[in-house]
Amino acid sequence: MIKLLYFAWLRSKIGLAEEELALPPGISDVAGLIAHLQTRGAGYADALSNLAVVKVAVNQEYVPFSHPVAPGDEVALFPPVTGG
Amino acid sequence: MIKLLYFAWLRSKIGLAEEELALPPGISDVAGLIAHLQTRGAGYADALSNLAVVKVAVNQEYVPFSHPVAPGDEVALFPPVTGG
Amino acid sequence: MTIRVQQADFDIGVELAALTQGNPGIGGVCCFTGLVRDLHPQADEQAGTVCALTLEHYPGMTERQLAAIEAEARARWPLEACLIIHRYGRMEPGENIVLVACASAHREAAFDACRFLMDWLKSKAPFWKLEETCRGTRWVASRHSDEEAARRWDQPAG
Amino acid sequence: MTIRVQQADFDIGVELAALTQGNPGIGGVCCFTGLVRDLHPQADEQAGTVCALTLEHYPGMTERQLAAIEAEARARWPLEACLIIHRYGRMEPGENIVLVACASAHREAAFDACRFLMDWLKSKAPFWKLEETCRGTRWVASRHSDEEAARRWDQPAG
């Protein structure tokens, strides 16, 4: 299982703040995980339609889409930040 | 008459914070005034021995040594500033 | 070296007094406060006046990222003390959002470190602003200039 | 736009609250505080620990020069509010000497204007520091780096 977290408009569009997911066979990196999520429904497809504005953190560290994903990971998807 | 003001170590060395001076004939700029002050005693000579560390304001504005001096002016002599 | 992520407001005077208290080696403190503005940052006239902002964040990652960047600032500049407070939750115009303060023997380090932390925070700390206007709510878009400002610091200053 | 030259200490929290009060167009405030350090600025070990500082100034010229540079800062950057407080008289280590605060819609202007004012103040405002150490008193020498810092601003930033 991995833990997925969504923030800001990704959360609103997907309609969930977090969920647990059994990593499907063959998925080993962030890019593969996102491709899988895009097939899970209209909200996911909409939220993940423009990957230029999607940032990823694995275990609370920023990572590129090529970063590996493994069971036990906490994977967060969110837009560019706007704090401060 | 002009009003002379001395600050920081110029004040300590000259031994005065301020004085009135009748502008001697022939003196028309800051350089001439300083040359005159240097002849007024050991304190003045000491205070004005290194003009690289003497700043001048006429009527509360920084001026170069070539600036004119006329009766009624307020002339201040002081070291480089160290506030803030 | 203090980092706080909190809903409550903060008192700048109290925070700065605590920062410098008992350290007579501090010659200067540079402090930045970010406040909720009533104008939309993109100056879009259609957007209308902002009546409130809700700050969402990523608990855990926020503190971890703030701690890392604060350590980076202390490695780059000779800081005597450093403070980051960032609020989350709903705030109205005029309210404090963030406080960053850096204390050093000399002002140059205090100014540079404070600006570095703010630039970094704006482009990397996982916070998101949801604006409320009379027309409804919308997520604030990131500013390209904030990412550029943060990139300036990728190379240590020459 | 406030300038004060005073003997009394100031309360940073109160001053900053007054600065931003009632102006929801302010998005950021950069504030710098200078404090009395117990170490001699030239790092001369023979000098010993500073037990007090007496700030002398040129009444009249000080206010006039501060007003002029504050006007210059407002002409260069889009400031919503600006505050300069500089103390004179005798102060002990840890005490506040100076407060400069600049408020703007965006942080860049607030940071730049605040640093400009401090650099200028250090090199041009007619204040002089007399240090008291266990060995007696001496006038603090000016720092070459302060004049260089002020010269950076002679040309408007590109």
pLDDT tens digits along A15-67: 999 999 999 999 999 999 999 999 999 999 999 999 999 999 999 999 999 99
Section B48-69 average pLDDT = 97
Quote the number of domains for chain B: 1
Asked whether A and B share 3 or more beta-carbon pairs under 8 angstroms, the answer is no
**Which chains, if any, share at least 3 CB pairs under 8 A with chain C?**
A, D
- Chain D residues inside the 8 Å CB shell of B5: 58
Domain for residue A28, yes or no? Answer: yes
Residue B39 lies in a domain: yes
**What's the pLDDT score for residue D39?**
75
Decide which of 1.10.760.10, 3.90.1170.40, 3.40.109.10, 3.40.50.300 is the CATH code for C2-151. 3.90.1170.40
* ipTM for the assembly: 0.91
Residue A83: inside a domain, yes or no? no
Q: Write down which chains contact chain D via at least 3 CB pairs under 8 A.
A: B, C
Asked if D10 reaches chain C (Cβ–Cβ under 8 Å), the answer is no
Whether C4 has its CB under 8 Å from any CB of chain D: the answer is no
Give me the CATH number covering residue B52: 3.10.20.30
- Helix, strand or coil for residue B82? coil
pLDDT at B74: 98
What pLDDT score does D147 carry? 84
Domain, as residue range, for B50: 2-78
Q: What is the mean pLDDT of residues D128-140?
A: 90
State whether residue D151 sits within 8 Å of chain B by CB: no
Q: How does residue B59 score in pLDDT terms, banded at 50, 70 and 90?
A: very high
Å between D25 CA and nearest CA of chain C: 5
Alpha-carbon distances of A38 from A44, A48, D78, rounded to whole Å: 5, 6, 45
Say if D144 is an interface residue toward chain C (CB within 8 Å). Answer: no
State mean pLDDT over B13-18.
98
Residue C156 pLDDT level (bands cut at 50, 70, 90):
low
**What is the per-residue pLDDT for C44?**
54
Q: Which of B1-10, B37-46, D128-137 has the lowest mean pLDDT?
A: D128-137
* Cβ contact, residue pair D14, C16, below 8 Å: no
Any alpha helices (H) in chain D, and if so which ranges? Answer: 12-20, 61-76, 107-124, 144-151
- How far is the alpha carbon of B5 from chain D, nearest alpha carbon, in Å? 9
User: What per-residue confidence (pLDDT) applies to D103?
Assistant: 98
CA distance C157 to C145: 19
Tell me the average pLDDT across D33-42.
80
Q: What is the mean pLDDT of residues C131-143?
A: 89
CA-to-CA separations, D104 to A34, C38, C129, D21, D113, in angstroms, rounded: 41, 13, 19, 13, 9
Q: Which tokens is C130 given?
A: 């949801």
Judged against a pLDDT cut of 50, whether residue D158 lies above it is answered with no
pLDDT tens-digit map of D76-115: 999 999 999 999 999 999 999 999 999 999 999 999 999 9
Position B84 in a domain: no
Please state, rounded to an integer, the average pLDDT across all residues of chain D: 91
Cβ-Cβ contacts under 8 Å for A17 (sequence gap 6 or more): A5, A6, A7, A11
Section D13-17 average pLDDT: 95
Q: What are the extents of the domains in chain D? A: 2-151
Looking at residue B54, its pLDDT comes to: 97
C158 pLDDT more than 50:
no
On whether residue A42 sits in a domain, the answer given is yes
Contact call for C31 and D31, based on CB within 8 A:
yes
Q: Do D33 and C16 touch (CB under 8 A)?
A: yes
- B13 lies in some domain: yes
pLDDT digits (tens, 9 = 90+) for D83-93: 999 999 999 99
Q: What is the pTM of this model?
A: 0.92
pLDDT tens profile C42-97: 555 556 788 999 999 999 999 999 999 999 999 999 999 999 999 999 999 999 99
pLDDT tens for each residue of C100-125: 999 999 999 999 999 999 999 999 99
Question: Given an 8 Å threshold on Cβ–Cβ distance, is C60 in contact with A84?
Answer: no
* Chain D residues touching B7 at Cβ < 8 A: 56, 58, 126, 128
